[in-house]
Amino acid sequence: MKIAVLAGDGIGPEIIAQALKVLRVLADDGLKIELEEAPFGGAGYDAEGDPLPARTLALAKAADAVLCGAVGGPKYDALPRPQRPEQGILRIRKELGLFANLRPAVLYPELVGASSLKPEVVSGLDIMILRELTGDIYFGEPRGRGENASGEREGYDTMRYSESEIRRIVEIGFQTAKKRSNKLCSVDKENVLETSRFWREIVVDVARKYPDVALTHMYVDNAAMQLVRNPRQFDVIVTGNMFGDILSDEASMLTGSIGMLPSASLDANGKGLYEPIHGSAPDIAGKNVANPLATILSSAMMLRYTFNKDEWAYRIEAAVKKVLAEGCRTADIFEDGTRKMGTAEMGDAVVAAL
Ligand code: IPM
Ligand code: MG
């Protein structure tokens, strides 16, 4: 199993180093993996003038899975858009056809105090946000700058979805719901947007194949509100690229820290890119304080979704639960009475628990 490792920028290299420690322990135990690193994001720009250098893309294409840290940083903010680190991640998603983004928001019982919501509202939370990742206003054309009829400058992007793009993500939504509690909530803005009206039509059509799944529809503004009012009403949420971007950040905070949440971005054949949902956190980069658990848990998702190695994934997840139960905490999830530790120490704790 060949894994391309793209550490990226900011805290990326530190957190990836911890996930690699964990994977190497499993390799010593018989998991057959091959790891190869390449520059990506700002690091790609520094090395080759391109956030997704040709050799990095070639490696990612040749690999069975891609493990990513994070990209971006103030150093790159002034670059023209094609050179910005974010373009690296957007292009790799598109190039590899990674249209299905799974973003679980799970609250570990030990972290209930770290959530922004009261324990009685949030304990036991376990949501799966399924975000479409290669369409929508992120990629829609035309986009650009120009002048309107009265000669005023303007900027524009295009929200658009084709039928096949909607069908394939919605199918995965229903299949995911079937594996969990048979509940699917499709989030759109059907009261305003034509794209959303079309989205909803397709969802209703696909639903006919899944009579056992209880389907609901919700406007995205209401969904944002319901997520903080009563998040446990949700099980699987399926939505478009931009709404999913926003709602998944919101949902992450319910779980105590964005530093805890992994993600998987899958193509039609189960190949995937795995990354924490948080960013590169330039303010804490290189300080050994970032939480590596989202990245470690991303490697567990990789073993489960791409390699079908459920037991190995489970071992990683159990080790993470164990260190949390033992009171190990990085700064973002620290509370009185627990043990504060750095990025590397948390990685070592997970290795010890393994
Ligand atoms: C995410 C990020 C990216 C996105 C950025 C870095 C391009 O926010 O993965 O959620 O908007 O998709
Ligand atoms: Mg985001």
Measure Cα distances from 46 to 7, 39, 40 in Å.
Answer: 14, 9, 9
Q: Is the CB of 264 under 6 A from ligand 1?
A: no
Locate the ligand 1 atom nearest the alpha carbon of residue 245 and give its number. Answer: 10
In whole angstroms, give the CA distance from residue 277 to residue 18. Answer: 16
Could you read off the pLDDT of 64-75 as tens digits, one per residue? Answer: 999 999 999 999
What pLDDT does residue 7 have?
98
- 274 has catalytic annotation: no
The band of 345, judged by pLDDT with boundaries at 50, 70 and 90, is very high
Spacing, Cα 154 to ligand 1 middle (Å) = 24
The band of 113, judged by pLDDT with boundaries at 50, 70 and 90, is confident
Determine the average pLDDT of the residues in 251-262.
89
Kindly report the pTM of this predicted structure: 0.94
Residue 257 has pLDDT above 90, yes or no: no
In whole angstroms, give the CA distance from residue 241 to residue 29. Answer: 38
CB 223, CB 250: distance < 8 Å: no
Beta-carbon-side half-sphere exposure of residue 169 (alpha carbons within 13 Å): 33
- Structural domains of the chain ordered from first start: 1-99+267-354 (3.40.718.10), 118-257 (3.40.718.10)
Could you read off the pLDDT of 15-54 as tens digits, one per residue? Answer: 999 999 999 999 999 999 999 999 999 999 999 999 999 9
Neighbours of ion ligand 2 (CB under 5 A): 245
Q: Is the peptide bond before 282 cis (omega within 30 degrees of 0)?
A: no
Could you read off the pLDDT of 316-335 as tens digits, one per residue? Answer: 999 999 999 999 999 999 99
Q: Whose CA is nearest to atom 8 of ligand 1?
A: 245
Q: Whose CA is nearest to atom 3 of ligand 1?
A: 86
In whole angstroms, give the CA distance from residue 322 to residue 325. Answer: 5
Query: Which residue in the list 45, 76, 138, 210 is annotated as catalytic?
Result: 138
What pLDDT does residue 175 have?
96
- 235 has catalytic annotation: no
Q: How far is CA 178 from the centre of its chain?
A: 21
Determine the average pLDDT of the residues in 159-185.
97
Could you read off the pLDDT of 224-239 as tens digits, one per residue? Answer: 999 999 999 999 999 9
Looking at the CA of 41, which ligand is closest?
1
- 245 has catalytic annotation: yes
What pLDDT does residue 1 have?
93
Provide the H-helix boundaries in the chain. Answer: 12-28, 42-48, 54-62, 85-95, 119-122, 163-179, 194-207, 220-229, 241-254, 293-305, 310-325, 343-353
What pLDDT does residue 258 have?
87
| Residue in the block written with tokens 């990085």 | 330
Mean pLDDT of the chain: 96
Residue 256 has pLDDT above 90, yes or no: no
In whole angstroms, give the CA distance from residue 354 to residue 348. Answer: 10
**Most informative mutation of 6, 89, 241, 298 for ligand 1 (most atoms within 8 A of CB):** 89
Q: Whose CA is nearest to atom 7 of ligand 1?
A: 86
In whole angstroms, give the CA distance from residue 346 to residue 325. Answer: 13
Determine the average pLDDT of the residues in 79-88.
94
